[in-house]
Chain A
Amino acid sequence: VQLVQSGGGLVQPGGSLRVSCVASGLTISRNYMTWVRQAPGKGLEWVSFISAGGSTYYADPVKTRFTVSRDESKNTLYLQMTSLRVEDTAVYYCAREMTGRFFDWGQGILVTVSS
């Protein structure tokens, strides 16, 4: 299993960004997939997950601003982030879940929100 992330970078407050997670060795649409973030020097924070059936769930700080989705044809997971805030600055990880535990992780991608 390999999860390769892309799409991070610098964005201004209030802006938008989409990060991607391309999977190999697993079919994303048959798995629960999660996004976890880690602010610089801080701990891990769960952000969102999408179930195999397509249901989506979000942590309160990102609810209404972030959207998790997937493209089955590309076997890719996305996190669309809008109305970004300085406090959203973090390394974002995608991960494959099995029964709520995160077994496989992407390499992480840095999102910096700054003017």
Chain B
Amino acid sequence: EIVLTQSPGTLSLSPGERATLSCRASQSVDSSSLAWYQQKPGQAPRLLIYGASSRATGIPDRFSGSGSGTDFTLSISRLEPEDFAVYYCQHYGSSSRTFGQGTKVGIK
């Protein structure tokens, strides 16, 4: 079973700054199977990125994903006030799905 480890656990940044979030898989995965979600308090998660680097419909271009093999990155080029939230990476296999433990992006 694939284990996803996200780092850091918490990121404290100011609006306008760049955020870089990491997701490391316990073994090499196909990039097509890696996605990123944003979750705000009291809300369901929202799909941001799929296939490691493709933005979902309606997602602003300040969000970008990259990576391959075991190391993946979600970048937010300039943080807007609405971007402060928890972010999860996710992998899917033939018979299971896995989430990372999340990275909280908080206001500094």
A interface residues, Cβ below 8 angstroms from B: 34, 36, 43-46, 49, 57, 59, 93, 95, 97, 99-103, 105-108
Knowing A44-B45, A93-B44, A108-B44, say if A101 contacts B92 (CB, 8 Å).
yes
Q: B103 CB to closest chain A CB, in angstroms?
A: 10
A69 to chain B, nearest CB (A): 18
Q: Which residues of A lie under 8 Å from residue B93 when comparing CB positions?
A: 100
Contact string, B77-107, partner A, CB cutoff 8 A, digits 1/0? 0000000001010101101111111100000
Q: Which residues of A contact B46 (CB under 8 A)?
A: 105
Q: A43-B99, A100-B97, A102-B35 are in contact. List 5 more A-B contacts (CB 8 A).
A: A44-B45, A45-B99, A93-B45, A103-B56, A108-B44
Using A100-B92, A101-B92 as known contacts, say yes or no to A46 and B97 having CB atoms under 8 A apart: yes
Given contacts A44-B39, A100-B33, contact A107 B97 (CB under 8 A): no
Q: Which residue of B lies closest to A45 (CB)?
A: B99
Which residues of chain B are within 8 angstroms of A34 by Cβ–Cβ distance? 97
How distant is the Cα of A106 from the Cα of B45 in the complex, in angstroms? 10
Tell me, yes or no, whether B63 is within 8 Å of chain A by CB.
no
**B57 CB, min distance to chain A CBs, angstroms:** 9
A95 CB to closest chain B CB (Å) equals 8
Q: How far is the CA of A113 from the CA of B92 in the complex (A)?
A: 29
Is there an interface contact between B33 and A102, defined as CB atoms closer than 8 Å? Answer: no
Give the 6 A-B residue pairs with the shortest CB-CB distance, closest first: A100-B92, A105-B44, A46-B97, A44-B99, A43-B102, A101-B50
Q: How far is the CB of A113 from chain B (nearest CB, A)?
A: 21
